[in-house]
Structure formats: structure tokens, C-alpha cells
Amino acid sequence: MVRPDHAGIRAAALSHMSTNTPPEHDISHARLDWDEQGQPLSSHYQEGYFSRHNGLAETRHVFLDHNRLAERWSALTADDEFVIGETGFGTGLNFLAAWHLWRQLAPNGARLHFLSVEKFPLHPDDLQRALGLWPELDNEIEALLQLYPAMQNPGFHHLKFDQGQVRLTLIIDEACAGFSQLLLSHHPAWQLPQRPVDAWFLDGFSPAKNPDMWRPELFELMQRLSTPGTTLATFTAAGIVRRGLATSGFEIYKGNGYGHKRDMVYGHLVQAAECPAPSTLPHNAFNAAEPAPWYVNRDTALRYAAPGIEKTQPQPRHAVVIGGGLAGCHSARALAERGWQVTLLEQQPQLATAASGNPQGVLYAKLSHRQETLSDFNLQALQFALRSYRDYWAQGIGANCGVLQLSVDDKTADLHDKLIAQLGQQELLQRVSAEQASHISGVACPSGGLWFPSAGWLEPKAVCEQLLAHPGITRRMCEQVSQLSFDDAQQLWRLQILHPQSPHQESRQVEAPVVIIATANEAREFFPQLPLKPIRGQVTYLQATPGSQRLQTVICGDGYLPPAVHGQHCLGATFNPRNLDLTLTEEDHRLNLATQRQQLPALADSFSEQRICGGRAALRCTTPDYLPLTGALPRYDQLLEDYALLRKNARANIPFAGDYWPGLYLNVGHGSRGLVYTPLCAELLAAQIHGDPSPVGASVERALHPGRFWIRDLTRNKR
Ligand code: SAM
């Protein structure tokens, strides 16, 4: 296949926007000057990113040595994790140097999380230029450059390296705002981390040049995100920093600074932050300063609540995943990468037979110029999915041929214009004209649209197969879970298994401390109160014509049309919440063809009924706000009782965290976006289960929370 000149299109698209209308997007890149030695300087802060003498040696002296990383990492075991928190990702030098050392010292199986906030991210071109200074770190640099977010939009960007053994969570935000997303809640009683930091790299420009960052709130937040023994190191010995840290429970020492700097500071936490006991706080129907913390899972929150308490994970680390579609397979893989033994149960003889079962799934995101959770989550999930599927595309599972979202009508064109006016033309997505769209796609497009050059399509079944190819995962096909019950005495889930394909086989029981339900609409068989709604979708298989064979990218708009594979297109899909019968209908085939004829009139002849060679119908699983239900599941009856005051006042004073089913998690409701949503949702879930720092931040976790509709209904007095 001849690929169109994407680089040329990109350049044209980028210049198209950058002439006289400066984009109003809220991505504030770092503005750099370069000194005569090729070192980056911040024009904003008027300071260098690292010591002019030798930035790498400075990093090693200040951050690695004074946090005693070599000594601590040499003592780790294969089951251990280590979490670093950094202010100011900058060029990523500290991360790269730490990762380089980790590769030398940490045992196989141990895992490093590097959490870094950055208010002014470097543009990828600047990053590459700055990192050219450190040939010693070439391997790590190359890997970082490959995965550095294509678009540096505000929020969480989670990057996995070394098969998930090293993770970077780059939080593009102001330091306090970004780190506060790592607390489970802002409610005074529950300001706890999901996983505390083990070592802090307090970087950032000097307090004299950057006083806004070195605020008491930052030090207080560090204390909340630490546990006694957490260490810190910083290049500055300014009084404001020493005093701030000391006031926030850190014991600090002065050390020799690097290069021309006389002193630096290092230390460790001696006094953990305290939260008032919920029972000492008001509980009534008056307005509360902070909303009720129903979204906090009391049991997991208490893992670190008291100083010295070790995190408690279920032992053994065994989980059962119910459901062998994309949600189940990604969830199983995310846990297996954390050293868990996972058993995946699927009632069908094959993986990905329900909503994940189409031969071609498209990576397609729903973005909006408005600041709204659905759009932010789509952007975050899309970028994570694109990083996750790189290897799959490299193996030929689908194609990253780009996705073109056509501006099918004036309203959509206006939305696309507004989106790009807000975001600016990006590596990730660009606004293209009809002419450019036609050139990119190889077929005549009546309108322009949004062009996602790094997206594409995948075969979900093959993705699922690959995901389960991990020694920690056992799959059991033709096993249907007919009953799920929790044994309080043993603190275990018992699953009753049937064999729908061979009914004479005896049923059996499986036990596990952790269960993930990834059965889409069928989750309601276990929990009928879940607000899931099936929506039928039918795809049509169509013999390609010489004209349609010229299509080189995925086209979407009202429906989608990926390039032909083996002379056949899979186009879709209908959207019908009323008919739940899976028998294929002629009417739906005709609907699919009509949609494409309207979308691509130049190819109208290709979409004729004579060319239909099959199809497939399945039920999408959707939720009222089209975001998935991902996370731990509260006990429904208890939730209604504990938060009953919300019926009287949606802002009632309720200081208590939620009562959840121990070890029970949900990953459902991905609608038509399973390929995009499930990789990140699986990471979120595995982080909750294993006790890792959140890969998405507390706001997103709350937006996906499985109990959100129950609480919403309570506040509207509808439950
Ligand atoms: N650690 C970096 C490295 O390895 O290249 C060098 C960091 S540089 C000295 C300081 C960084 O802190 C800059 O990238 C700057 O944009 C960032 N920064 C400054 N103030 C900040 C704030 N309030 N919140 C988040 N990041 C901030």
C-alpha cells in the first residue's frame, strides 16, 4: 500500500492554522533559549534547566545520591515497587537518570513509578534537542521520545516502559493542582494517597525565580502523599524551602551542593499528616464544605491511614476476571504485569465474541472544545491506547493507517473548527480541508475534517489473544459464572461455574479474593441496579470495488469505513436501543450502505446491496453519560443507607467513606469505544487493586466511578 505523504499534509495543515490566527489552546509549552553549549534555558523563568557544569552529574549527586536510591534499590525484592514524585519534569533528565540506575540495580519484577508534574511541558522537538546532550542515556532517551505524548494537553499522561516495569505518570498541571489529584479525596477525613511516594525530587526553578511553586501548600501536599521514612532531596537550600519542609513534618539536613552551589537540602518524613477521624466531624443535612466522600473505598483508603501500617494486598495475589472481551483481557493483562495470577473465565469457546467481536475496530475519540469530562477522558484514553497498540500494529494486527473524521455537516464542521481553535493543530490531530482529506484517504471526500494520523484500526480478537499471552494468565473457555457470592468468614469470592457448551459437565466452584466483572450488559445479572443500557449495532461486510480499494485510511463521521482487508470492507454500524435481537436485518444493511453513500458520494457505486457478503450484530453496553463504569463497587443497600441525607440536601455533611464489596471491581460500559477506553480503564483498575498511584487522577476516577449514578439519583431524590 502506498502511504500518502502524511508529513507533507501535516506541514500544510499546521501552517494552515498558524498564519494569522494564533490558536487559543490551553497548552502552554515551555519557551526556550539555547546557550552557546546547546543547553536549554527557560525564557519565562530566566534560568537553566540544569547545572551548566554537568546536568547529569548534578542529577546524580542531588536527587539520586541524596535519596539513597542505589542503596534502597539494591535491597528491593521482585515483588517491590518504588514511587518517586518530582516537581518539574522539564527535559526529563531526572527521570531518565533514575531509570538508567533502576535498570542497573533493581531486581527483575520490581516496579518503578515516576510521578512528575509539569506546568510548561517541552515541545517534543525541544525535548529531543535538549536530550541530545546525554549520549550515555541514549537507550532510555529513545524510548521516552517514542512515547512522549503527541499532544501535551493538561492532565495525566501515563507511559509504560520495560514491559510495564517502569512507568512515568506525567501530570501536566501546576504542581499543587497536579499532585492533589493523587489524593483519594479532598474531604478532610480522607486526604490520603492511594500509594504514598517513597522519594521526592524537588526540582523546579529556584525559589527566587519561581516563588509561586515553593508554597506551603506544596509542602503540606508532599506530607500528605508521604509516609514516615519517605525521603526528599532538592538542589536549593533556600530558607523558605527548609522552613516549609520542616513545618510539614520533614527532618532536613544540608548537604554539599553540586558545582558552584554551596548547599543543597535532603531529608525524610518523620511526622505523617493527620486526618481528623470521621466520627469527630459533623454529620447532618446542612451544607458541607466538601461533598460526601462516597467515592472513597474505606477499606483500601485505610491501607496507609495510620503511620507505619504496611499496605495490605490480598494474599495470594490471585484475581478472577469474568469476560473475555477487550475489557476483560486488558484487565487481566494489567494485573498480570503487576505479578498477579489471573484466571479469565469466558462462557463462549472464543475470545471477543460479543461487543468486541467485529473484525475491524476503529480507534476513534469523541472530543469537544468544551471543558468536559467526556472529552478530556477521550483525549487521555486515546493517547494511552495509541501508545499501548504500537506493538500490535508493528505485528500487523490491523493498521495504523490514520483515521479521518469527516465534518459531515455544518454543525460538525463548526465543532471541528472550535476544537482546533482551542487545541491548535497538533501532531495528534489536525484540521484538514476536503482537498487534503481526499489526498490523505485516496478517495474523494466531500468535506474536510479532523485527521488523526497515528490512529487506525485493529482486529479486537487478535488483540485479546495477544493480551492473554502472558505466563500469569490462565484462560478458561466455555465457563459461565452462574452465581457470585462473598464468603465473609474466608474473605473470598465464590463463583459457581456452568458449562453452557456441554451441559452434562458437572458445575464447579472457583474462589478468589479479587473478582473483576467485565461482562458488559450481563453485569446486570449479578447487580441488577447497574445503569447499563444495551444498544444494538450491526456491521455490514461488503466486497470492495477497485474504487473503494483505493481507500487508505479509516473514514468516519456518521458511520465508519476502514480500508478493505482481503478485498472486503467491514462498515458500520447501526445504533438501535429498541431492537435487541441479534438476527441480521436487511434494513440495517441498507442503512449502513446509505450512510456511506451519503458520506462518500464519489464511491456511491461501491455501496450497493449486491456486494453485501455478510454482517454481524452485537449489543454495545452503554451508560447514561457514555463513560464507562470502572472501579470498585459499593454495596448498593448500604450506600443508600449511608448517604440517605443526600435526599434532603445534595451537599449534606456526611464524613464517612463508602462501604464496598471487598475485592470486587467492574470494568463495563465502554459503548462503541472499547478499543480506546479499555487499555486505560484496565490500568486504572489494576492500580486500584494493587495499590499503585492513580494513572489517571482522582477526577477521572470519580467520573468513571461505578456508583456515580446511584449517588446522582439519591441527590435528586429518585432512589
Ligand atoms: N527535572 C527537570 C529535568 O530533569 O530536566 C528540570 C526541571 S526545570 C529546573 C524546572 C521545571 O519545573 C520546568 O520545566 C518548569 O516548567 C517546571 N515548573 C516550574 N514551576 C512549576 C509549577 N508551579 N508547577 C509545575 N511545574 C513547574
State the pTM of this model.
Answer: 0.95
Report CA(64)–ligand 1 centroid distance (Å): 17
Q: Please state the atom number of ligand 1 nearest to the C-alpha of residue 122.
A: 14
Mutate to test the pocket of ligand 1, among 213, 214, 217, 261 (most ligand atoms within 8 A of CB): 213
- List pLDDT tens digits, range 29-73: 999 999 999 999 999 999 999 888 899 999 999 999 999 999 999
Cβ 389 under 6 angstroms from ligand 1:
no
Does the pLDDT at position 243 exceed 60? yes
Instruction: Tell me how far apart the alpha carbons of residues 130 and 151 are, in angstroms, rounded to a whole number.
Output: 18
pLDDT band for position 469 (cuts 50, 70, 90): very high
Cβ 203 under 6 angstroms from ligand 1:
yes
Among protein residues, the one whose CA lies closest to atom 2 of ligand 1: 90
Cβ 29 under 6 angstroms from ligand 1:
no
> How many other C-beta atoms can be found within 10 angstroms of the C-beta atom of residue 80?
16
- List pLDDT tens digits, range 674-691: 999 999 999 999 999 999
E strands of 32-165, at which residues? 32-34, 40-42, 47-48, 81-87, 111-118, 155-161
Report CA(570)–ligand 1 centroid distance (Å): 47
Rounded to 10 degrees, the C-alpha dihedral 475/480/486/491 comes to -20
Q: What are phi and psi of 44, to 5 degrees?
A: -70, -50
Cβ 49 under 6 angstroms from ligand 1:
yes
Amino acid 17: pLDDT: 37
Dihedral of alpha carbons 23, 24, 28, 34, sign: positive
Cβ 175 under 6 angstroms from ligand 1:
yes
Ramachandran assignment for 556, one of left (phi > 0), alpha (psi -120 to 50 degrees), beta (any other): beta
pLDDT band for position 224 (cuts 50, 70, 90): very high
* Cβ proximity of 28 and 154 under 8 Å: no
Instruction: Tell me how far apart the alpha carbons of residues 353 and 465 are, in angstroms, rounded to a whole number.
Output: 12
Cβ 210 under 6 angstroms from ligand 1:
yes
Q: Please state the atom number of ligand 1 nearest to the C-alpha of residue 210.
A: 20
Cβ 119 under 6 angstroms from ligand 1:
yes
Average pLDDT over residues 305-313: 49
Report CA(204)–ligand 1 centroid distance (Å): 4
Q: Please state the atom number of ligand 1 nearest to the C-alpha of residue 59.
A: 4
Amino acid 624: pLDDT: 96
Report CA(25)–ligand 1 centroid distance (Å): 21
Instruction: Tell me how far apart the alpha carbons of residues 641 and 76 are, in angstroms, rounded to a whole number.
Output: 44
Cβ 85 under 6 angstroms from ligand 1:
no
Cβ 94 under 6 angstroms from ligand 1:
yes
Among protein residues, the one whose CA lies closest to atom 23 of ligand 1: 213
Report CA(133)–ligand 1 centroid distance (Å): 18
Nearest to 17 by CA among 302, 426, 298: 426
Does the pLDDT at position 334 exceed 90? yes
Does the pLDDT at position 309 exceed 80? no
